[in-house]
A and B are shown apart, each in its own frame.
Chain A
Amino acid sequence: MNPSPPRVLQGVAANLLSEVLPRIPTPFGQQLVGIAAMLDMMVAEEFDRAADRLVTENRIVRDLLAAGCGLLGDAVPPSVPEALAAPAAPSLRVSDLQRENDLLRAALIDLHAAVEQTPGPAARDLEERIWAELVESTRRRHLSARP
């Protein structure tokens, strides 16, 4: 079995920092090599988790959009049922999953704005669920390797 892409990128970063960086004479060149190494490590982390993150998030956002349709009925922004009716990602490629994610999260913005304007405890409850998901979405995207 080949070394995994994250392991390869970590190896590249380690070599850049230990073997290349000390031999670069200019501050700008040193900064460039340091940035390349940091990017390697962040991309390595993202590579392994991206598909899982997107599949998880797309399912959760779909549930929120469906809840929004139930709460707002005919007053729901058109982008919400449109996003729910759109076909799911045709593959598990990150690019396909990301396109689905973009469509769903754009609709979530419209739903969030509409729910904010809706009175009543059910609307407040859904608003809090949306905020909870937005907070969680940043935890999913958090990179431990970021400088």
Chain B
Amino acid sequence: MEEALARYLAPRLEAADVRVTNLLRIPGGASRETWMFDAEWTDPVGGRQSAPFVLRKDPPASLLETDREAEYAFYSAFWGTDVPVPRMRWLENDPSVLGGPFFIMDRILGCESATSRIIAPPYTAVQPKIAENMYRILAAIATFDWRGTDIERVAHVPTPETAWQHELDHWERILDTEAMEPQPIMKAAIRWLRANPPPPAQRISVVHGDYRVGNFLYREDGGIYGIVDWEMAHLGDPLEDLAWSFNQSWHWAKDGRPGGIVDRETAIAHWERYSGLRADPDALHWWEVFSHVKCQGIWVTGARSFAEGRTNELILPLVAYSLINAQDQYLLRTIGRLP
């Protein structure tokens, strides 16, 4: 893979002697393989150059089947804004280069992303600051003016009245297609969601789609330096992201706090203050119930990929065994059927 990458980079870096080193697969990345590497080369005037990169490559099968061009466009649209993202470099759709389509971005150095680290010292001391930054940045995503950017080209634009329905239709279809066993709890939730739709979205915003602790890069100073994993980004109701960040699947400290770092009321207060939007409790509850359906759609997709032998990625059966039933329980808790 190092040689193939070096050949790919040579014309793009205008260099004949590209060397790829320290190529390592990064843990996580259940939907796309994530690799980090360094490149060294001689520039056209003879100077030695080097740079750290991250490569995101489509696997044969995964938790999600998503559009890498859309992900690339969302990342690119936020480059240089108040929403920190790594700079996108190259998108390659030809699977013959590395065995699957991929894109390459700059690597942000000196950061942590692990969910196990953020709930332990030294990060516990700066959790309030990380949490405020997390919801300040989410507010910036929610209020971002996406019109005129590449996002408009790659994303469906729902109306404020239909944003909820578009998402619910999409994820119910995935659940119906991918689940290998009947889902009576999720189907009951879907009936309730359809019978009790939320009010129209306050605006049509960029929705990151997987905004939570685990998908940003942070440091000991409490700063957040990169929002990553935009593979489910779309346009829709900004409350979707806020509700998603509260899902119990990401209560890493198992203490009831979203992400294991902040209580829900504080998170809502930060988000409302920075966005100028309102988190209507009933609407937020609707999106929280929906978040369980969406999570389950992701887990059952991965389970089927593994069961059908399209991949041997062990993270997929682990997710299936540990989260499919748990997600049902989290949903039951959200709707008051479990203490």
Contact = CB atoms under 8 A, between A and B. Distances in A.
Interface residues of B, number: 26
A113 B329 contact: no
A60 interface: no
A116 B63 CA distance: 33
Nearest to B321: A42
Contacts of A101: 181
Interface stretch (B82-90, B104-112, B144-152, B184-192): B184-192
B80 interface: no
B329 A142 contact: yes
Contacts of A85: none
Nearest to A28: B25
Interface stretch (A5-13, A87-95, A102-110): A102-110
A86 interface: no
Interface residues on A, range: 20 to 34
Contacts of B314: 32, 35-36, 39
A146 B319 CA distance: 10
A135 B336 CA distance: 11
Given A26-B24, A27-B27, A108-B184, A113 B321 contact: no
Contacts of B315: 35
A141 interface: yes
B288 interface: no
A105 B141 CA distance: 41
B338 interface: yes
Contacts of B188: 109, 112, 134
Interface string A110-147: 00110010000000000000010011011001110011
B96 interface: no
A31 interface: yes
Interface string A15-51: 0000000000011101110011011001100100000
A102 B337 contact: no
A134 B185 contact: yes
Contacts of B181: 98, 101-102, 105
B325 A39 contact: no
A43 B306 CA distance: 15
Given A28-B24, A35-B318, A146-B322, A135 B182 contact: no
B185 A138 contact: yes
A28 B26 contact: yes
Nearest to B191: A113
Interface of A: 26-28, 30-32, 35-36, 38-39, 42-43, 46, 98, 101-102, 105-106, 108-109, 112-113, 116, 131, 134-135, 137-138, 141-143, 146-147
Given A30-B27, A112-B184, A143-B322, 5 more contacts: A26-B25, A36-B314, A106-B182, A108-B182, A138-B325
6 contacts: A35-B318, A102-B181, A109-B183, A131-B337, A142-B325, A142-B329
